[in-house]
């Protein structure tokens, strides 16, 4: 369902050209859970940004089902994201001045869910991530691990078809890591496609397949 071919992306810094993605080819099927690993700076977040429709590639193809994502303009790309993708960005930032509940509720408000639907959906993800106790805390006071879980809750509350997570267990203890992985597994069993960038072999071990990014390409290792 997600097919990337010959994807290229470079960044210019001064006169230097950094060829981050040189020839990325990737096929991820409906309902799969895959891990993407690779050294720091190998282009993992850059690739996820493109998969989420947040960043343009220089050339290549990216089809999401029959949608030619790279051909979408900014407005259509935003709509594509809203309807299909839950993206947990690396080092996610929450919206200050709003409590945990309202941060998670935000995407549901944008998509015009009723108050009772919002309450039910937000309560469910809070419970699944074991953070119901901080539902009404201001986000400014949360620990790193709590912030991470709220960011995950916000990305999955709309039940998107595809969940893209950039180091979702980067700043959490082992127990929290287990909670997060259990939740991803449950979502996957419900049919969600999940793409996780991770440095953690334990995370990769619960995925169906693992890709490794190196020298601008992304290859299957298991």
Gap between the Cα atoms of 212 and 120, Å rounded: 38
Cα-based distances in Å from 49 to 3, 77, 140: 15, 12, 26
**Beta carbon nearer to ligand ATP, 60 or 135:** 60
**Segment (H or E) for 63:** strand 59-64
| Count of Cβ atoms closer than 10 Å to residue 182 Cβ | 13
Spatial neighbors of 182 by CB under 8 A, at least 6 apart, are: none
**Beta carbon nearer to ligand ATP, 166 or 179:** 166
43 binds ligand ATP (CB under 6 A): yes
Q: Which of 19, 28, 81 is nearest to 50 (CA)?
A: 81
45 binds ligand ATP (CB under 6 A): yes
> Which parts of this chain interact with Mg ion (CB under 5 A)?
44-45, 90
Q: Which of 108, 91, 86, 80 is nearest to 195 (CA)?
A: 86
Among 11, 127, 133, 202, binds ligand ATP (CB under 6 A): 11
Q: Please list the residues that pair with 29 across neighbouring strands.
A: none
86 binds ligand ATP (CB under 6 A): no
Q: Which of 96, 110, 84, 221 is nearest to 164 (CA)?
A: 84
Instruction: Look at residue 11 and give the partner it binds from ligand ATP, Mg ion, none, a contact being a CB closer than 5 to 8 Å depending on partner kind.
Output: ligand ATP
Gap between the Cα atoms of 220 and 222, Å rounded: 6
**Beta carbon nearer to Mg ion, 97 or 144:** 144
Instruction: Look at residue 133 and give the partner it binds from Mg ion, ligand ATP, none, a contact being a CB closer than 5 to 8 Å depending on partner kind.
Output: none
**Beta carbon nearer to ligand ATP, 92 or 99:** 92
Among 46, 169, 176, 193, binds ligand ATP (CB under 6 A): 46
Q: In the bound complex, what is the minimum distance in angstroms from residue 183's beta carbon to ligand ATP?
A: 22
Instruction: Look at residue 148 and give the partner it binds from Mg ion, ligand ATP, none, a contact being a CB closer than 5 to 8 Å depending on partner kind.
Output: none
Instruction: Look at residue 42 and give the partner it binds from ligand ATP, Mg ion, none, a contact being a CB closer than 5 to 8 Å depending on partner kind.
Output: ligand ATP
Q: Which residues bind ligand ATP (CB under 6 A)?
A: 11, 13, 18, 20, 38, 40-46, 90
């Amino acid at each position: 369902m997600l097919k990337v071919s010959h994807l290229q992306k470079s960044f210019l810094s001064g006169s230097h050209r950094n060829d981050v993605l040189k020839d990325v080819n990737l096929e991820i099927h409906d309902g799969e859970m895959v891990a993407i690993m690779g050294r720091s700076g190998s282009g993992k977040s850059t690739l996820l940004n493109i998969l989420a429709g947040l960043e343009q590639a220089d050339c290549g193809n990216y089809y999401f089902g029959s949608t030619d994502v790279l051909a979408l303009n900014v407005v259509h790309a935003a709509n594509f994201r809203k309807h299909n993708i839950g993206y947990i960005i690396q080092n996610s930032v929450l919206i200050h001045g709003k409590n945990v509940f309202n941060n998670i509720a935000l995407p549901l408000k944008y998509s015009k869910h009723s108050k009772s639907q919002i309450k039910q959906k937000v309560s469910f993800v809070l419970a699944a991530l074991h953070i119901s106790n901080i539902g009404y805390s201001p986000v400014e006071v949360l620990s790193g691990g709590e912030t991470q879980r709220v960011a995950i809750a916000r990305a999955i509350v709309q039940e998107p078809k595809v969940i893209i997570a950039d180091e979702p267990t980067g700043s959490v203890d082992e127990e929290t890591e287990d909670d997060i992985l259990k939740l991803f597994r449950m979502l996957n069993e419900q049919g969600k496609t999940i793409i996780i960038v991770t440095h953690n072999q334990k995370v990769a071990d619960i995925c169906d397949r693992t890709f490794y990014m190196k020298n601008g390409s992304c290859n299957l290792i298991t």
